[in-house]
Amino acid sequence: MNYETIPELHRGVKILHDPLRNKGTAFTEAEREALGLRGLLPPKVHSHAGQELRVLGALRSKVTDLERYLYLMALQDRNETLFFRVVINHIEEMMPLIYTPTVGQACQEFGHIYQRPRGLYVSLEDRGRVKEVLENWPHRDARIIVVTDGERILGLGDLGSNGMGIPIGKLALYTACAGVNPAQCLPVMLDVGTDNETLLNDRLYNGLERKRSRGERFDALVEEFVTAAEEVFPGVLIQFEDFGNANAFRLLARYRDQICCFDDDIQGTGAVTLAGILASQRITGSPLADQRILFLGAGEAGIGIADAVVAALVDEGMDAAEAREHCWFMDSQGLLVKERGEVAVSKRPYVREAKGTRSLLEAVNMIEPTALIGISGQPGKFTREVVEAMARINKRPLVFALSNPTSKSECTAEQAYTWSEGRAIFASGSPFDTVLYEGKKLVPGQGNNAYIFPGVGLGVIASRARRVNDKMFLAAARTLAGLVTEGDLEQGRIYPPLSRIRYVSAAIAKEVATIAYRDGLADREEPDDIQADVYAQVYQPVYPHYA
């Protein structure tokens, strides 16, 4: 049994207001006596399971998802153990509430629905004293920081300081999906202003009321933050999250070999989508080397996926230049071809020698892709004609409409299945319901980054890895694809159900930790049994017994 001795400081009403220690009505008679809680709680002692039932009842009685989000956030602020018990035991129901799509709406309205602070806000005003700000964080053992500047929140654009909902949500997923201890998770908002006029004109906006800072001032703040984070929380893993396109690529290039960090929008998306493509091979029977992939959208996520595909092909023995020829891109300016002239650095490796077009249908007919990946934030771009063309070209076309939230999806699951006569292998970014097509139940895959980053983070923590490398993401993708069962595939499902996500994360963590040990990146000695060692570090939402 898990016993914890509570210092005098945390007794009485203080423990009720400490979300990591609070048990609410589940404090036993003996604990109430010992901790000075008599009279501070209603007399009946409830079990943890009883509390869970109450939460579910209250949650399900709410009318809108935003109300459910608010209820869950308030619960997390009150009693984290109960919050995580509910989220873990009902992950399929809770994931869309604590993350996309609901978190997107919550971020849009963050200033209006704001109740309590969570995480750390580091703003331009803190320059020169960022370390001091980080030292205000009450938990010394932060091991994972998710940091955003709010410039590209999901597919919703610049939400400035309102973007704080994303690091909070992602860190909740680290705990729910992989068992990273919530006391080791630190959400950070790097507030450098916003170019969102609606927010700047909103009296209830909580962030800096100024235009976004770029260039040297921005870089200096990031550098000060990264340096301070390393000093205050040695070895901490920093996840860059939802930065704007140019900064995301720049920051990753600058810091990936210097500190323990990764960018989930680029690398996490790359790995989860690669896993979906790999799992699909077991349905189509055609290997990765035979894929021709057309991306709609050449941003962080699109390029991240292509880089992951190229890394996998190179690992299989293909030459990098040849591997890149398997990927075609279309962005807001049309097909990525030479005749367009100068393009952003990140896109250069994928510029092709071909005729340009701005029509997706024309591009599909010309390239004859085996896979179409929508990652543009532009809803409805996969029209009936486009999906029908994919179905004409392929027996089992891959149609991934990955843009988030649901309202931005390039097509719905139902459209993809109906327009392809039930033959499309479909995946989305935000969840879609199961579709009944001509009597057959088709289950859309959700290419949710939550299949990847929590396991990667757990592996980094377990091995005390000093760096996160591409090998780790490739291993994560292959592990995830390998855990899709024949039963899943029969339903058209290319990802395991979320109910198995903690198992998936532990398996990924083992692979990541193994690479860290074998590549000399770990700050710990390799244990005899890496998987058992990973499991030993997994947080369980179980109340301690206070003595």
Catalytically active residues, by annotation: 99, 170
Residues 474, 408, 297: CA angle, nearest 5 degrees: 50
Element (H, E) at 8: none
Cβ at position 449, least distance to ligand NAD in Å = 5
Q: 152 vs 464, which CB is nearer to ligand NAD?
A: 152
Cβ at position 207, least distance to ligand NAD in Å = 20
Query: What are 290's two structure tokens?
Result: 């035979």
Q: Which amino acid is at 16?
A: L
Cβ at position 429, least distance to ligand NAD in Å = 3
Q: 208 vs 360, which CB is nearer to ligand NAD?
A: 360
Instruction: Report how far residue 369's alpha carbon sits from residue 392's, in angstroms, rounded to the nearest whole number.
Output: 11
Q: 24 vs 496, which CB is nearer to ligand NAD?
A: 496
Cβ at position 295, least distance to ligand NAD in Å = 9
DSSP alpha helix (H) spans, 333-423 = 360-367, 384-393, 413-419
SS3 309: helix
**298: CB partners within 8 A, 6+ apart:** 329, 330, 331, 336, 346, 347, 350
Q: Which amino acid is at 500?
A: R
Which residue ranges make up the site for ligand NAD (CB under 6 A)? Answer: 152, 154-155, 245, 265, 269, 272, 296-302, 330-332, 375-378, 402-404, 408, 429, 447-449
Select from 386, 348, 339, 380 the least CA-distant residue to 367.
Answer: 386
| Mutual angle of helices 245-255 and 215-232, in 10-degree steps | 50
8-state DSSP, 6: P
Residue at shortest CB range from ligand NAD? 299
Cβ at position 150, least distance to ligand NAD in Å = 13
Q: 163 vs 447, which CB is nearer to ligand NAD?
A: 447
Q: 447 vs 459, which CB is nearer to ligand NAD?
A: 447
Cβ at position 147, least distance to ligand NAD in Å = 16
Cβ at position 248, least distance to ligand NAD in Å = 7
Instruction: Report how far residue 286's alpha carbon sits from residue 280's, in angstroms, rounded to the nearest whole number.
Output: 9
Q: 191 vs 331, which CB is nearer to ligand NAD?
A: 331
Q: 12 vs 157, which CB is nearer to ligand NAD?
A: 157
- CB burial of 464-499 (b: ≥16 within 10 Å; e: otherwise) equals bbebbbbbbbbbbbbbbbebbeeebeeebbbbbbbe
Instruction: Report how far residue 191's alpha carbon sits from residue 172's, in angstroms, rounded to the nearest whole number.
Output: 21
Share in percent of the chain as helix, strand, coil (round to 5): 50, 10, 40
